[in-house]
Amino acid sequence: MPETSNVIARLRLQLVDSANEKTRLSSERFFKEEVNIYGLKTADAMRISKEFFQEIKSSSKHEILNLCEELWLSGYIEESLIACNWAYNLRNQYQPEDFETFERWVKNYVSNWASCDTLCKHTIGIFIMQYPNFIDHLKDWTTSSNRWVRRASAVSFIIPARKGKFTSDIFTIAEALLMDKDDMVQKGYGWLLKVTSQVYLQLVFDFVMSNKSFMPRTALRYAIEKMPSGMKIQAMAK
């Protein structure tokens, strides 16, 4: 492995040096739960992520994922985003056994929507496109007591949904989460339906119409956001 024994320490120093109190306070307003934030704009965090990845890119996948693990352990949002970015950079090296690592991150470290969506939308989304036999594991996530694991079960399908893939599985996930009382889960599967509607408009509209009497309004509004106005009016009608 290249000289990376102190890469995390140096990365953290740069995060601290680049942080801004005004950005930190502004960022905190996007979260209902308590979060640890240095106070960097996403673009600045990604610039630092890219800079340090250049140092470690010739390391083995195992070594890089171990560095990602160390970042997750900090609990800071910016470090989790960098961990997600580095893991996504390894997408051409994913193997089935990597699912255990990604699932552990979701279940043990994800504690806010930003970390959840960054990890699931990209890393796990690409993984299940490469290894769709793991989709059943994501369906199991819908019954978790952890709100972020349930949200992850939906958000992991965002990229496949944009490509028109796994539509039957997407509706299975949405149905499993349909009456979830957590607003972050409702927004997650509503977002998934919205993205799916841009490829399969009628299928999503039919799903919404058949379930609108007990579908939470938060999820419904997300799902129909990109639909034509006439469909929106029908879906929102009591």
Mean pLDDT per 10-residue segment, the chain (238 residues): 72 94 87 88 93 95 96 96 97 98 98 95 97 98 98 98 97 98 97 98 98 95 96 92
Residues 6+ apart with CB under 8 A from 56: 1, 2, 4, 7, 63, 64, 67, 86
Q: Would you state the pLDDT for residue 1?
A: 43
Q: Which two tokens stand for residue 155?
A: 């958000």
Distances in Å between the alpha carbon of 176 and those of 47, 180, 189, 193?
38, 8, 10, 13
Q: Would you state the pLDDT for residue 107?
A: 98
pTM, entire model: 0.93
Q: Would you state the pLDDT for residue 238?
A: 79
Q: Which two tokens stand for residue 101?
A: 């690592």
Q: Would you state the pLDDT for residue 53?
A: 96
Provide the 3-class DSSP secondary structure of residue 76. strand
In 37-189, where do the E strands start and end? none
Q: Would you state the pLDDT for residue 64?
A: 97
